[in-house]
Structure 1
Amino acid sequence: MVAYEDIPGAVVVDGVLHHLGNPLAEQRALNAGAAIAPLGERTVIAVPGEDRLTWLDSLSSQALAHLAPGESAELLILDPQGHVEHAASVVDDGETAWLIVDAVDAAGLLGWLRKMRFRLRVDPRDAGDELVVVGGTAAAVAGLDASAPAGVPLVWRDPWPGVAAGGWGYATVDPHPGGQRDWSETLVAPEVLDRIVAEAASGDRTLAGSLAVDALRIAAWRPRIGDVDERMLPHEVDWMRTAVHLAKGCYRGQETVAKVHNLGHPPRRLVALQLDGSDSVLPARGDVVRAGADAVGTVLAAAIHYEEGPIALAIIRRSTPVDADLVVDAEDGPIAAAQEVVVPPEAGATASVPRLPRLGRRVAAP
């Protein structure tokens, strides 16, 4: 078992390193490439087999049939009505597709994948005991001993907020707040993580906890599966940008994806909230967001950012005025919130909105 408790100030909950006493300083170090983060909240599913890429292509929102070894991609599994059920980061090594997933979603995704094998040459398995996930800037994780069972280092480079091939960006802010975010996740053997933790305990390495990781993610408007509710469409949180290919073949939920994008607008929209920080109180996921007396949405995630202070992501009704003053009903009382539009009310193919330049897939460094 990883001995995080040997690191001074470490706070560990259910095996996940939350922080080491100063989450704000950890954010700065992580952002600057001076720290890395063991991602105990992430785990790995391995999908070996000759049919793996065409199979994943047919099941998911992403075009993966021609994914080259070392390339990074992101996929969503949707229900028949187009709602997000599962999400995964993908890197293939020429023999196996490695899916990096949130631990809370792993069992459900793996169970569904195994039921969808039919007679194809694929054999998805839980690889959480074989490999663990460590995150940081590309330069910070480059020095780690990345696993490479087929000779290709298993490093996933987050394409966010670029618009991947076949994707569509809804956010109109230029520059996008995630534009300077440099984030990669590498898969290492458990003994490598043990060595990293031992180095941190002796003062020879700087680590950051999950609170720092999540704060930087929220500030970049980056969605994750933990934000999703049962009604979530990828359009609503700008996930079309990196996880949906609009010109690929048929998959479950595609009709809804195409219809909402081409003919309508998503019924809800993501907003970034700047929270009143006078009481240093953060809302919880699911707390109600109000415009006046009307409940218009809910909080998805919240954090205290080292530069921006208390911030949150929330999903609200599309019809909510973009200049409305919002209030979050937190457990300890109402919190005033100023909204910043992420997904505009008019989002869709028919809207004339500026988009970031399209990005090709990024190839992992050898």
Structure 2
Amino acid sequence: MTYNSTLLRRPGAVEAGGLDAGVAAHYGDPYREQRLLAGVHVAAAQGKNLTAVVDLSHRGVVTVSGPDRLSWLNTLSSAQLTDLAPGVSTELLLLSIQGRIEHDVRVLDDGATTWLIVEAAEAAPLAAWLTGMRFMLRVEVADVSGLWAVAGTVNPVTEWSERLCWRDPWPHIAPGGFAYTAVPEESHPGLDRSWFEYLIPMADLDAAVGVRPLAGSWAAEALRIAAWRPRLGAETDDKTIPHELDLLRTAVHLAKGCYKGQETVARVHNLGHPPRRLVFLQLDGSQHTLPAAGSAVLLGERQVGTVTSVAQHFEMGPIALAVIKRTVDPAAELTVLDAGEKYVAAQETIVAPDAGQVVGRQTGFLRVPR
């Protein structure tokens, strides 16, 4: 069934495609929306200072309830969840036997229910798989995507302080995590992007947003790309392992017990290197178009990777994320080829070519501000 957000009725709304189909790409002024979301965090409306929000109501929401929920999810996933306190945000991966990413899940527990926020197409298969893994445990799984909407913002919303809220832990290194980038945590560009995702009853979405300024998915994507934040379905394919995207930083606990895919995680981390690595690309801005996701990344005339996400940033101009071969020289100038058009691309290293041989730094979970 095709989803169309009620906020698409707002003036100027233009629907997005791809992963964000069903919500607005923008509301008529993409650059202003991005500035509002990224820089000028508040805007005056009817005498109030209001934080801009992004409609993410197409996202999937799955709930897990029951007294065994956290210990059960802990045995299935890459994250350490047995001691997850109410109101604390984290991230987990569900992997294949070969260690490839099948689900990337935002996790929040309220003391009685664990809330799992995923990409739109992931909710039904995730709920079905979890249901099949219950056995005799005291857990109940439900896909509640039709009942709950998600709204994203860079700042906490004062009026929503009592709502459930997931705060993106990126780029802080979670307990048991490991950084695969050589950039120190205190210099990581992801620190410029705080990110909150609020859970709102679907029927209340329009009223909850009210006169608050709206920014489209294009604005959110530009900030995500600039923060080097990978996204399931964009930076991933059927071969992606967590190391290639620096996801050991926030979504993998290297010292926890056995889970599906752990052998690959440990082997690559301790004995080798991932075959590919995520890079940030600054694209030549002389063209009036952007290359599409899926475009080839070339070193000379040889393809060495693929563009995974692309956006026009309000300050940096055209930017992209790409996954390339690990052995590509980090200093090499690359080109992006799309429908015969070539774009010069200067790379910035995200996952280091020698990833696995650097020293990790650990911090704590992030607690949602109240």
Contact (CA 8 Å) 2:58, 2:149: kept in 1 or not? Answer: no
1:304 aligns to 2:316 (yes or no): no
Alpha-carbon distance between aligned partners in 2 of 1:249 and 1:173, rounded to the nearest angstrom: 29
Deviation for aligned residue 1:306: 0.8
8 Å CA contact retained: 1:17, 1:40: no
CA contact (8 A) 1:4 1:12 kept: no
Distance 1:340 1:321 in 2: 11
- Alignment partner, residue 150 of structure 1: none
Residue type matched to 2:180 in 1? Y
| Correspondence for 1:362 | 366
1:92 aligns with 2:109: yes
Distance 1:83 1:42 in 2: 22
Structure 1 residues 179-198: aligned runs within 5 Å? 179-197=191-209
Once the 2 structures are TM-superposed, how far is the Cα of residue 28 of structure 1 from its aligned partner? 1.4
Q: Identity over the aligned pairs, expressed in percent?
A: 51
Asked if structure 2 preserves the Cα contact closer than 8 Å seen for 1:24 and 1:306, the reply is yes
Matched, 1:228 2:236: yes
Cα distance in 2, alignment partners of residues 208 and 160 from structure 1: 21
Taking the aligned partners of 2:153 and 2:102, their CA distance within structure 1 comes to: 26
Residue aligning to 1:119: 136
Question: Following superposition, which runs of at least 4 residues in structure 1 exceed 6 angstroms of deviation?
Answer: none
- The verdict on how the C-alpha distance between 1:124 and 1:305 changes in structure 2, with shifts beyond 3 A counting, is same
Q: Paired residue for 1:244?
A: 252
CA distance in structure 2 between the aligned counterparts of 1:146 and 1:336, rounded to whole angstroms: 47
Structure 1 residue identity aligned to 2:119:
D
Q: Are residues 1:7 and 2:10 paired?
A: yes
Instruction: Determine if contact 1:283/1:328 at 8 Å carries over to the other structure.
Output: yes
Distance 1:155 1:180 in 2: 19
Equivalent in the alignment of 1:144: 160
Q: Residue 216 of structure 1 is aligned with which of 223, 231, 248?
A: 223
1: CA distance, partners of 2:38 / 2:158: 15
8 Å CA contact 1:51–1:120 kept in 2: the answer is yes
User: Per the alignment, do residues 291 and 135 of structure 1 end up closer, same or farther by CA in structure 2, a change over 3 Å counting?
Assistant: same
Shift of 1:43: 2.1
Displacement, 1:275?
Answer: 0.6
Q: Secondary structure at the match of 2:126?
A: helix
- From 339, 358, 361, the counterpart of 1:352: 358
- Look up the equivalent residue of 2:60 and give its one-letter code: T
Give the distance between the partners of 1:192 and 1:144, measured in 2 at CA: 12
Residues 281-317 of structure 1: CA deviation (Å, up to 9, x unaligned): 2222221111011111111111111111101100111
CA change 1:332–1:10 in 2 (3 A) is: farther
Taking a change above 3 Å as real, the CA distance of residues 332 and 212 of structure 1, as seen in their structure-2 partners, is farther
Could you tell me the TM-score, scaled by structure 2's length?
0.91
TM-score using structure 1 length: 0.91
Tell me what 1:29 maps to.
36
Residue identity matched to 1:46 = T
Offset of 1:143 from its aligned partner? Answer: 2.2
Mapped pair 1:284 → 2:287? no
Say whether 1:321 aligns with 2:329.
yes
CA RMSD of aligned residues (A): 1.6
Number of aligned residues: 350
Structure 2 unmatched runs, 5+ = 43-51
